[in-house]
Structure formats: structure tokens, C-alpha cells
Amino acid sequence: MRHCRLDLPLDHFRLLGVSPASDAQTVLRTLATRLDRSPDQGFTADTLLARAELLRSSADLLSDGERRAVYESHLTSLARGEGTVVAALEVPSSREVAGLLLLLEAGQPADCFELACRSLQPPQAPALGSSREADLTLLAGLACLEAADEAKQSRHFESAAGILRQGLQLLQRMGQVPELRECMHRELERLIPYRVLDLLSRDLAAKAERAEGLSLLEQLVVRRGGLEANSDPDFSAEEFQAFFRQIRGFLTVQEQVDLFSRWGDEGSNAADFLATTALTASGFAQRKPERIAAACDRLQASGRSGIEPLLANLHLLLGDVDTARNIFEQGANKDLKAWAARQSDDPLAQLCAYCCDWLSRDVLPGYRDLDADPDLEAYFSDRDVVAWVEREDRRRGRRFDAPSAQVSGASAAFLPSSSSGGELDGFDWSLPPVSSGLSAPDHAAPEPDYEEETPLSWRLPSLTLPRFSLPAPRLLASAVVLVLAVAGGAWLLRPRPATPPPVPSGASPALPNRPKPAGVPIQGQVKPQSQAPIAALPQGTLTPLTAAEPSETQIRSLLQAWLATKTQVLAGASLPANLDSIAREGMVERLASERRQDAANGALQTIEVSIIDLAISERTPGRIAVITRLRYSDSQRDRAGKVVGSTPSTTLRNVYVFGRDGSRWRLAASHTAD
């Protein structure tokens, strides 16, 4: 049985839309205006007639001096808390819908929506197919949209989404006003960026809310077709880029690692680069070199040009100074080299200075839970870093005699300085304050502050990043070499064997302006007396693979040629003149560097490797990745022919990536399979 009346939470002044100070003439003029401007959303004539009757009733009371005085006395008493009168109007059930319509017109959509929903529920629900049902459903939909917009304007984004979901469910149940349901769907979609900001700006302890925020962020990126795409009509590229800059500062470093790594593995070049940065930040701040190694793998496999200085920094942080210096020397442009030369005469100090600046400017800022200084001394003094490097040496079966802790006068005199600037040829990966039209809700953490309106451009990286431009460092490593030597940690920054950690799928960068190793024997090579020398491979024995869509058999042959060549080079042979016909220069240079290091130590390696099976796991017109199982064993001998290390026969599972350069397919990268 339905209630005989409805209590509207408003008074006669607000129902009519006049001020308590309005005189009778103003009341009557307002009444005439309201009657002339009836809602045109499609309400029935009965509802509009009842609305007019309610307006006239309020106008009659407010234009009657005696009745108005009594009514105002009641309102004053209520305001002072001296009575039990509530500020509500009793509306008979016959005028219920009209009363709710006037409540909506009075600017109380949330109250209107709640009461309309209640009236559509049993036992108050109207008869199916009645005009009352149709009007109540229409009114509920209109009130829902206005209430959600009101919550959005108050920056209560989750509340707005909840109202829209409730209204959508109600209208779907009623099966009416499809145009309003479509509006609610669109509003829910438009709310996603605001909800993401709302949820991710909450305290880190709010795990469920933050997980929901991350899920919505992924939905947003999928809807637009990826970070680099622009298929979302409701969110322009400029708005999204500004929003994304803003949202990154509310993500933890682990959230960024997980999110960007997944998107990068799905083919996003921008996310792949951001994953590299997040992995480096996590590894450096948390003293986990294995994460820096993963960052190095990812960056090296990306195939971008101009990233050699960044690779040099990563190898430096892994303690692999020989590789770091080689890559920096051969890949940095002349402006960067000139800047480095101004910092110190010592090449290692130059590299440390550049690495510190890169960490402080591009790597460590921009994480919710990270507050770290680019302190190389503290990093290389950490026992976990020391243990990791020692473990890597044992895993590779290398022997190392610690160098003497001598530092040149130039290094000792290396003083810190600071300035500002620096970016990756227009790609500014720092996170200064930016306004996107979105702002953090009231409960957002005080840091980081992203509400300062500083319009800044933010561009995602293109398929090939341009070469590194001249940096202006903010922070240098003051006498890093000297400090490490005194601390007993100089061995970490030693020339190590140049074989880098395994690299993930993707194309390794081509290092420009480096001399080709074509057919030139490695200098300083010393062969043990007990081992017969191996002759250099004949010229022309490596056949390029030029098929547009090579088969597994052709890829296997190309990989076998590389493995055979690598085996013979590490056993003492010279690099073939045309090795770059089957492998990119990054792979060739790493092989040459490892052999040079062995030769300097008077060492040779005997490697036995064969392909058990091979399967193509990824294929595009310019990239092929294969998963292989290998049978592998090796041994290392010193200049006297004595075995100083070995790896027993074992089965390895590796991924090899081939890139197409012009008409040729060449080996670009390799890494251990997960």
C-alpha cells in the first residue's frame, strides 16, 4: 500500500524560487515565469498540471501577508532549534511526481534521485505501463545525471560513478528512456580519468581502491588503443598526455614497473622506455642490481638509436665499467663528450658525473614511494650490490685480481658542480607540476603537488628515439673514484669481462661511428702452449639471410652460423670480415669486447653448444623472436693452459631476436627465456 503523502525536503520559498525578502509582487511575477517555462523533457500533461498547482499553492501562501507571517515564524523557530517543525512540504500522492520535479528544479538532484528510486520500488512502485511509471523513470534518469554532475563538480568522482551506475541499473530494469541510459554510459566513460586520479591519489594503505584505480587506468589506455594511440573521442592526445604526467606521480615505483613492463611487452614503445626507467629507479634506490640488469636488457633490446649513453650508465651501475666506457665513447655525440670532458680528465669520473645527473634528473623523480639521492658512493658500498657483482663473476666463471686503488690527480680534484636542464631531444621524462583540467580530490596526499597550473608539453617517444642532446647536469659524483678506492670498493668499478647480462627480445641499438672489427686480429692475444691455435674463419663463409619471410629452418641456420662464429672467436680466432652480415653491430661489438678482455688476461674459452630445438614465438615484418633449447658447456684456460673455470654440460632455454635491416635479417639480441 502506497503512502498517502510525500515529504519534500524544501520550503515554499525554494519551491517557487524566490528569496525570503521578496514581496508579493515579486512572488507573483516569479510564478508567472515558472508557469510559462514548463519542462520540455517529455513529462505527461498530468504531471505538468500538478506541477503548476503546487507552484500556485506556494505563491498563494507567500503572497498572503497573514499566512506568510505564520509560516516564516515556523521557519525561524526551526532555524533556532526551538521546535520540532521540519523544513519539508507535505505533497499528496497524486502530486508526488510533480513535487519531485520541483525538487529537481530547486537544485536538489541527489534528493530527487533518491526519492524517485524509492517510489519505483515495491510496495510504492506504480502500475506497469502507467504514465506515473513513465514520468518517475524519466525523472529518476534526469536527476541521476544532474546528481552525478554535482558530485563530479565537488570532486567526489567515485560518488558520481556510483550514482551513475545506480541510475543505469534502475533504467535498465525499467526498460525505458534508452537515450538517458546512453548518456549515463558516456558520462561513466568520461569519469574514468577523474576516478583514476581520485583512487590512485589515496593513501597507499587503501589497497583495494588503488587496485581499482590501476584497473581503470588500464581500461582507459585500452580504450584509446595504447599510450601512443589517439582513438578516444572524449580524451584528446594533449589532455591524455597531461593527465598521464600527472597520474605517474601518484604511482609507486613497483606499480610503474608492473604496468609499463606489461604494456611494453604488448608492443608499446613508450611504455617499454618507461619500464626501463622504473626498473632502474627501483634497482638503484632499493639496491637491487638485478633490476638494473633487467632495465639494461629491456633498453638494449628496444632497437632504438641514440640510447648508448643510457646503456653506458646502466653498465656502470652494474659495475661493468669496461663495457660502459666503450659504449659511451662510441655512442655519445660530440656535445655530450665535450660536456663530459669539462667535468674531469678522468674518463671514469666523467661517466660517473653523467650517470649522477641522469639519475637525479630522469630516473629517480616521479614515484609516490621513492625518495632517493643519486649517491654512487652509497650504492657501490652496499653489501647487496657487492654480493650481486661477486655472484655474477662466479656465474660466469671469471677470475679477477683486484686492481690497485690508485686515483689520478684529475679524479681526486674532481669537484661537484650543479646546473639545470637536459632532456632526450625533446622527450622530457621529468615530472614537473602540470595541469590537465583534472585535479586531485580533497583527500589526495599532500605530495606530490600537481595542481600548479604550469602548461608543459609531454611527448611519448617515437619508434626511434633521437640521439641524446647536450645535457646540463644538476649533480656530479664528487670524487667517486677516490671515495670508492678509500672505502675498499674500487674493485666494483673495474674493467670486467665485457659480456653483458642476457638481453630480452627486441633490437639492440646500433652504435654509430665505431670501427668495424672486420678481419683484424685481436691485439694482445696470448695462446697457451698446450692448445693449438685456431685459424681465422675464411672470408665469405657467412651467408646473409635475405628471405622476406624466413622459415624456421633458415632462422636456425642463421643462428647456427652465429653460435659457430662466437665459439671460434672466443677460442682465439679473429672476427670474420663479414660478421656484420648476420649480426648487428651491438652483438658484434660485445663479442669483440669479450674477446679483447680474454686476450688481455691471456685466456681462451672452449665452448660446445648445439641447438636442440627452435620455435618462432613472435613474427612481424621487421622482427622475429625465437625460443631455443641449447646443449651447452664451456671451460676457460689461462695463458699457461690451466683450466680456471668451467660449466658442465647443461640445457639452456634462450630467446634470440632477429631484426630486418634493409633486405637482411641480423641477430639483434638474446636473453634467457622465462
Dihedral of CA atoms 550, 552, 557, 563 in degrees, nearest 10, equals 120
486 vs 165 pLDDT, higher one: 165
Grid coordinates given for 427? 622527450
DSSP annotation of 407: -
Q: Span 209-227, mean pLDDT? A: 90
Cα 238 to Cα 615: distance, rounded to the nearest angstrom: 42
In-domain check, residue 420: yes
CB 654 within 8 A of CB 630: yes
Query: Which of 470, 493, 516 is at the close of a domain?
Result: 493
* CATH code where residue 602 lies: 3.10.450.240
pTM: 0.57
Cα 571 to Cα 573: distance, rounded to the nearest angstrom: 6
Same domain as 96, residue 15: yes
Least confident of 121-135, 528-542, 575-589: 528-542
The number of beta carbons lying within 10 Å of the beta carbon of residue 495 is: 17
Same domain as 123, residue 16: yes
Q: Span 204-210, mean pLDDT? A: 92
Same domain as 254, residue 166: no
pLDDT score recorded for residue 214: 94
Q: What is the pLDDT of residues 14-67, one digit of tens each?
A: 999 999 999 999 999 999 999 999 898 889 999 999 999 999 999 999 999 999
Place of cell 658525473: 353
Same domain as 449, residue 318: yes
The number of distinct structural domains making up the chain is 3
Same domain as 254, residue 184: no
- Count Cβ atoms within 10 A of the Cβ of residue 455 and give its class: 0-12 exposed, 13-18 middle, 19 or more buried: exposed
Q: What is the pLDDT of residues 487-514, one digit of tens each?
A: 333 334 434 333 333 333 333 333 333 3
pLDDT at 401 over 60: no
Q: Span 173-191, mean pLDDT? A: 92
pLDDT score recorded for residue 6: 81
pLDDT score recorded for residue 245: 86
Quote the domain boundaries for residue 114.
5-197
Please give the C-alpha separations between residue 640 and each of 525, 527, 645, in angstroms, as whole numbers.
13, 8, 14
- Count Cβ atoms within 10 A of the Cβ of residue 437 and give its class: 0-12 exposed, 13-18 middle, 19 or more buried: exposed
Cα 351 to Cα 328: distance, rounded to the nearest angstrom: 8
The pLDDT-based confidence of 459 (bands split at 50, 70, 90) is very low
Q: Span 410-424, mean pLDDT? A: 30
State whether residue 571 is helix, strand or coil. Answer: coil
In-domain check, residue 528: no
pLDDT at 289 over 90: yes
Residues 6+ apart with CB under 8 A from 538: none
pLDDT score recorded for residue 464: 27
Residues 6+ apart with CB under 8 A from 230: 224, 236, 237, 240
pLDDT at 378 over 60: yes
Q: Is the peptide bond before 123 cis (omega within 30 degrees of 0)?
A: yes
Place of cell 525505458: 176
Place of cell 585535479: 439
Same domain as 181, residue 99: yes
Rounded to the nearest 5 degrees, what angle is found at the Cα of 101, between the Cα atoms of 97 and 105?
A: 170
Cα 443 to Cα 104: distance, rounded to the nearest angstrom: 29
The pLDDT-based confidence of 515 (bands split at 50, 70, 90) is very low
In-domain check, residue 291: yes
In-domain check, residue 459: yes
The pLDDT-based confidence of 277 (bands split at 50, 70, 90) is very high
Same domain as 252, residue 190: no
Same domain as 149, residue 31: yes
236 vs 546 pLDDT, higher one: 546
Query: Which of 493, 514, 537 is at the close of a domain?
Result: 493
420 vs 664 pLDDT, higher one: 664
The pLDDT-based confidence of 396 (bands split at 50, 70, 90) is low
Q: Span 637-647, mean pLDDT? A: 83
466 vs 644 pLDDT, higher one: 644
The pLDDT-based confidence of 4 (bands split at 50, 70, 90) is low
Cα 298 to Cα 319: distance, rounded to the nearest angstrom: 18
Q: Span 318-339, mean pLDDT? A: 90
Mean pLDDT rounded to a whole number for the chain: 77
List the one residue out of 47, 28, 213 whose CA is nearest residue 135: 47
Same domain as 251, residue 186: no
Q: Rounded to the nearest 5°, which phi and psi values hold at 338?
A: -65, -40
279 vs 452 pLDDT, higher one: 279
CB 324 within 8 A of CB 498: no
Query: Which of 493, 513, 535 is at the close of a domain?
Result: 493
| Portion of the chain with pLDDT greater than 70, in percent | 76
pLDDT score recorded for residue 27: 94
pLDDT score recorded for residue 532: 34
Residue 567: which H helix or E strand, with range? helix 552-570
Distance of CA 220 to the CA centre of its chain: 13
409 vs 438 pLDDT, higher one: 438
Residue 662: which H helix or E strand, with range? none
Cα 494 to Cα 405: distance, rounded to the nearest angstrom: 10
Same domain as 394, residue 259: yes
In-domain check, residue 368: yes
CB 480 within 8 A of CB 376: yes
pLDDT score recorded for residue 187: 93
List the one residue out of 613, 227, 197, 265 whose CA is nearest residue 439: 197
Residues 6+ apart with CB under 8 A from 45: none
Cα 227 to Cα 212: distance, rounded to the nearest angstrom: 19
514 vs 353 pLDDT, higher one: 353
In-domain check, residue 525: no
Same domain as 107, residue 14: yes
In-domain check, residue 536: no
Residues 6+ apart with CB under 8 A from 255: 210, 214, 368
State whether residue 413 is helix, strand or coil. Answer: coil
Same domain as 373, residue 472: yes
Q: What is the pLDDT of residues 141-176, one digit of tens each?
A: 999 999 999 999 998 999 999 999 999 999 999 888
Cα 312 to Cα 348: distance, rounded to the nearest angstrom: 11
In-domain check, residue 90: yes
Rounded to the nearest 5 degrees, what angle is found at the Cα of 295, between the Cα atoms of 289 and 299?
A: 150
Cα 567 to Cα 267: distance, rounded to the nearest angstrom: 33
* DSSP, residue by residue, 72-140: HHHHHHHHTT-S---S-EEEEGGGHHHHHHHHHHTT-HHHHHHHHHHHTSTTTPPPTT-HHHHHHHHHH
Place of cell 690508485: 406
Residue 651: which H helix or E strand, with range? strand 643-661
